Each structure stands twice: as C-alpha cells, then as structure tokens.
Amino acid sequence: MGYGHNFNNVRDSKCNPWTAVPSVCQCIAAKAHLFLRTFRGIGLWGTLNQVMKRFPLFYPLVFLVLPPKLAATLPTLLKANLTIVRDRITNRHSLKHPDYFSLLIQDNEPVPSEGFLVAQANHLIVGGFDPDTNLFTAAVHFLLTNPEKMEKLNREIRTTFASYEDIRNDALQSLPYLHAVIEETLRLHTNGAFGLPRISPGDTVDGHYIPAGVSAYSLILFVLNPRNFLSRCSSNGPHAPTLTSRQKTSGRTNPPNPLQCVVQTAAFATTHSARYFHHPRSFHPERWLPAEHAEYDPVFNADVKSAFKPFSMGPRGCVGQNMGYMQARILFAKMVYRFDWELVDRGVDWERDLRLYAIWEKPPVVVRYRVVGTAKE
C-alpha cells in the first residue's frame, strides 16, 4: 500500500542492497529492517528531544546524546527512501494495484517535487508501522487475560462466517463486538499516549486563559514574578500581558514570535480517568456496544465517549484512521476464525511492564496459536 510493492520482509530481511542494489523490492525489504532497528532504538532520544524543545536555549545539547550508531543509520535510511520513491515515480504506469501514492502521482498531472514525496513516504511508513502492531499486541493481551471476552469475540466471528474466504471488510463493519474490542483496546492502549501539540490561538478554557504565544518580554516578567504574571493572565483574559510579539506594519500584523505557547491533552490520562469512564483501567468492550445489544451493560451509560479520540481530531487528525480500522477488523477476524489463541506467559503485568519514550516499548506477549480443530499437544 505504501510503495506499490510487496515488502517480502520475512523472505528478504537479511539482504544488504547497499553494495549493489539488485532490485527495488530488496531495497524495500532492507529499508524495512533498517527502519525497524532505527525506530526502536531512537525512542529514549526522541523523548529527550521533545523535552528539550521546552528549553530552547539548551535544545542544541540534545544532539550530543544521539547514539552514534543511530546517527550513522539515518542517512542510509534516507537514501533508501529516496531510491524507492524514485522507482515509484518511474514505474507509476505499471502498478498491479493502487497504493497511497496513486493519489499523489496521477496521470495528466504534474509530478510533485521529489522532496515532498519523500516526506510523505516517511509519514506513511511511520503511520502504518507502529500503530498496527501496538493495537494487535495490546488486543491479544487484553483478550487472553479476559477469556470471557475472547469467547464472545470467537462466537461472533465463527458464527457469522461460513469460510475464511468470506471474511471481507464490508461484512465485518456490521459486527458490533469486534468493533467494541477494537475501540476498547484503543482506549486502554492509545497509540499516542501524549497529546499532539497545538499552538494556542489565545482563548479561555474552563475559566483559565490560555495565552497565544510567548515573547522574551513575557518570559522575563514570568521569571521575575510568576504568581503575579499568571494571575494577570487568568483574571484579565484577552487583556492579559501579550505573550506574542506582534507589531502593526502597513496595516498588517506580523507573524507571532516563534516561541509559541503549545498546548496538549494527554490521551492516556484522559482515557484512564474515572471522570470519563467507569472502571477505566479494566478491559470492558461492552461499554462500546449499542444499548439494544444483548451484551451491553448499562453500568457504562455515564461514560463520556467524546473524551475518546484515538486518532486525534480536526484537520490535523490521523489521515489513515479508516485504513487502520479496516486493517484491524480484517486481521482480528481472520486470526480469530483460523486459530485458537493461548497465552503462554501469564506473568506479564501490562501497565507495570509498559514503557513509553518517543514510542511504546511493549512487554513481550507470548502466544501459542493453534489451527481451529486440531488437538492440543
């Protein structure tokens, strides 16, 4: 879907195409392996990078702690991406099926710049790699540690379809318990635990004035007398000391100072709060079922579903959320239909063993899959 090629990562992951690139498919496979290694290894540094952005004067120091191996890997990764994008442009008329780039590179339309396409490719790979594995790993753990929920999902899938080949997305969209399992997994294990940053335009939220930006003058005022400064911001609203350096020039307002006031809402904190969800730390797909469903529990009537935004919202929300739901429905349904699942290591405590840096570092979930109908060994 990303590049119009099969990654074949299981078959070709050990190839090294950097001495001589024998085929773009091998390049893709090698890039996938390289990407996984880089993406997993850069987590802690990514966290430091985000923290240091809050302290602009010290931000350059963060590059001193970038692991040398990762620093050396990034140029190779970018080179691989460029090679694949160029191949995609060259062979745009010979694809077997449409991919994401089909919307960006269209017949009878100018081809976007190479830099733009490379940037989109990076976003597509990041967006299509980690969220899917997060969702499936978490769902497997939650279902197998709550066997009665697993049984309900088994029953819905296996009584709906007569064969494996009948499992298609259009039929899956009408299965309420499958949808509820996906939603509850996304609630308990949000793909982005931290909030996506937004620059405040300057507004009052719940009685508190959120300033529009930060100027050097305002920072000095805050350091000298923070209590008085925050009091003025909160009480005077728009008449508080301006936090954005704006000057009128020829009837126009100059852009704000680049040191902006950034606001975020932590998705993990919201979805795990008893303020919004009953039994917030427990796995209850029933909360997402329609009221007329036999498995619905009215104890969840007061849940604030609007606090659940796993893909963010607005024009900067995830553009791949529909694709993500489709992939999850098909993967879950086919795995449930074909295999019986058994949790091997029951000593995992999900919340205790989970780590978050720039990305989630999930505890190992060891599962034995057995083809339906075969006897246990």
Domain locations in the chain as residue ranges: 1-112, 147-197+266-377, 200-263
Q: Tokens in use for 185?
A: 């997994």
Where would I find the H helices in 16-104? 24-41, 43-52, 68-90
CB half-sphere exposure, 317, CA atoms < 13 A: 9
Q: Cα(103)–Cα(90) distance, rounded to whole angstroms?
A: 15
What pLDDT shows up at residue 98?
74
Q: Is 318 annotated as a binding residue?
A: yes
Residue 235's Cβ-count burial label (10 Å; 0-12, 13-18, 19+) is exposed
CB half-sphere exposure, 243, CA atoms < 13 A: 25
Element (H, E) at 138: helix 114-144
Q: Cα(60)–Cα(52) distance, rounded to whole angstroms?
A: 8
Secondary structure class of 242 (helix, strand, coil): coil
147-197+266-377 domain in CATH 1.10.630.10?
yes
Q: Tokens in use for 143?
A: 């279902």
Per-residue pLDDT of the chain (377 residues; tens, 9 = 90+): 666 666 665 565 554 443 334 444 444 444 455 556 666 666 677 777 777 777 778 788 887 877 777 666 667 777 777 787 787 777 776 777 777 777 777 777 787 888 888 887 777 776 776 788 889 999 999 999 999 999 999 999 999 999 999 999 999 999 999 999 999 999 999 887 666 777 777 777 777 777 776 544 455 555 555 566 556 555 544 444 443 333 333 444 444 444 456 677 788 889 999 999 999 999 999 999 999 999 999 999 999 999 998 888 887 788 888 888 999 999 999 999 999 999 998 888 888 888 877 678 888 899 999 999 775 65
Give 240's contacts (C-beta < 8 A, 6+ positions apart).
209, 211, 232, 233, 234
DSSP assignment of 92-104, as one string?
TTS-SS--GGGGT
Q: Cα(190)–Cα(138) distance, rounded to whole angstroms?
A: 10
Q: Cα(317)–Cα(125) distance, rounded to whole angstroms?
A: 17
SS (H, E, C) 153-206: HHHHHHHHCCCHHHCCHHHHCCCHHHHHHHHHHHHHCCCCCCCCCEECCCEEEC
What pLDDT shows up at residue 257?
42
Within 10 A of 78 (CB to CB), how many other CB atoms are there?
13
Element (H, E) at 178: helix 176-188
Long-range contact pairs involving 316-320 (C-beta distance under 8 Å, separation at least 24): 316/196, 316/198, 318/127, 319/127, 320/124, 320/127, 320/128
Q: Return the CA Rg of the chain.
A: 25
